[in-house]
């Protein structure tokens, strides 16, 4: 009996070790966002919070009143509770175009210990140097912060694992059947976008081609808002301040592209950014981005709702 017990113990130990070895490591990420204007940034942050594959190391804000945006992001994290209250939030550079921050009243006066009074470039630089080659940057606003980082520290490009961004337009614009357009995140600062696309950092790109059709209909909104969690209540409050009917989940697709790449058909392309913010796929040059070209909205929403609602 003693030998059997020893063998059983060894078997259980080996099974435990094998199970541990097979567990995938979390993907460390930093979110750079213009949360507070369009509502899709808040839905993107909710998806990050509900994606166990991701380890959120920080949130930086961009465009206009970045301090107001930082308060919104920090309050969402605070409402989520637990470990999310420890995620640092840093207000970034204003950018070249000031947007209306219609959701700012929700977090007016909010003070949280995770809001750091730190220069955004210094914050980003310290993270990427501390974890070289490990962190993916999720960029869902204009690329002002990212370009400023690359200009201040060109060597940091080698330390960023990947940039996953929502931006650009390849074969369609905002409306079905429309020609390519200068998408907001890129045209808000084309010079910054050019710096990022020429940096040599691997880029995964969610353009209008796979985002502009992601309309969150009334039934889906009801499922989210009626789930009555602290996070869904935050989304509901922000949605009401946004004061429009149907959100388009542009930004959550960038998160989804990282967590579940199979949601998009992709193509490696050489992307150039012109002075007006158009993203052009050019022939005869090495690819600098893996670009989402097609998606099935029903599969995206099945994925999104299963994460954020959980049932």
CA–CA distance from 157 to each of 29, 33, 151, 295 (Å)? 15, 19, 10, 30
- Give one DSSP letter per residue of 80-141, joined into a string: H-GGGGGS-EEE----SSPPP-TTGGGGTT---TTEE-S-HHHHHHHHHHHSTTTPEEEE-S
Predicted confidence at residue 23, as pLDDT, reads 59
- Give one DSSP letter per residue of 20-69, joined into a string: HHHSPPPEEEEEEE-TTSSTHHHHHHHHHHT-TTEEEEEEEE-SS-HHHH
Residue 255 in contact with residue 300, Cβ under 8 Å?
no
CB atoms within 10 A of CB 296: 13
Distance separating the N- and C-terminal Cα atoms of the chain: 47
CB atoms within 10 A of CB 112: 16
Interatomic CA distance for residues 37 and 103, integer angstroms: 7
Reading the chain (311 residues) residue by residue, the pLDDT tens digits are 454 444 444 444 444 444 444 557 999 999 999 999 999 999 999 999 999 999 999 999 999 999 999 999 999 999 999 999 999 999 998 866 778 999 999 999 999 899 999 999 999 999 999 999 999 999 999 999 999 999 999 999 999 999 999 999 999 999 999 999 999 999 999 999 999 999 999 999 999 999 999 999 999 999 999 999 999 999 999 999 999 999 999 999 999 999 999 999 999 999 999 999 999 999 999 999 999 999 999 999 999 999 999 86
Structure tokens at 195: 């710096």
> What is the reported pTM?
0.92
| Domains of the chain as residue ranges with CATH | 24-308 (3.90.245.10)
Predicted confidence at residue 168, as pLDDT, reads 98
Predicted confidence at residue 12, as pLDDT, reads 43
């Amino acid at each position: 009996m003693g030998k059997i017990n020893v063998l059983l113990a060894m078997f259980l130990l080996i099974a435990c070790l094998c199970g541990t070895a097979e567990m995938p490591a979390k993907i460390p990420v930093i979110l750079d966002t213009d949360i507070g204007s369009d509502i899709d940034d808040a839905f993107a942050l909710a998806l990050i919070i509900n994606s166990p594959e991701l380890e959120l190391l920080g949130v930086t804000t961009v465009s206009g009143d970045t301090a107001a945006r930082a308060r919104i992001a920090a309050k969402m994290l605070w409402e989520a509770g637990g470990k999310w209250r420890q995620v640092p939030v840093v207000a970034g550079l204003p950018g070249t175009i000031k947007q209306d921050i219609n959701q700012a009243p929700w977090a007016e006066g909010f003070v949280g210990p995770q809001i750091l009074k730190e220069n955004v470039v210094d914050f980003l630089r310290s993270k990427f140097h501390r974890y070289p080659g490990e962190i993916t940057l999720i960029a869902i606003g204009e690329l002002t912060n990212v370009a400023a980082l690359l200009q201040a520290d060109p060597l940091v490009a080698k330390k960023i694992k990947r940039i996953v961004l929502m931006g650009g337009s390849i074969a369609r614009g905002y409306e079905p059947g429309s020609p390519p357009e200068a998408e907001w995140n890129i045209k808000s600062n084309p010079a910054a976008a050019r710096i990022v696309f020429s940096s040599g950092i691997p880029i995964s790109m969610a353009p209008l081609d796979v985002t502009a059709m992601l309309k969150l209909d009334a039934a889906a909104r009801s499922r989210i808002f009626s789930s009555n969690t602290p996070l869904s209540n935050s989304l509901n409050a922000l949605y009401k301040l946004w004061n429009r009917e149907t959100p388009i989940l542009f930004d959550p697709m960038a998160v989804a592209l990282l967590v579940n790449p199979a949601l998009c058909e992709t193509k490696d392309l050489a992307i150039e950014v012109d002075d007006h913010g158009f993203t052009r796929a050019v022939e005869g040059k090495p690819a600098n981005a893996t670009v989402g070209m097609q998606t099935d909205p029903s599969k995206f929403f099945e994925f999104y709702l299963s994460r954020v609602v959980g049932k």
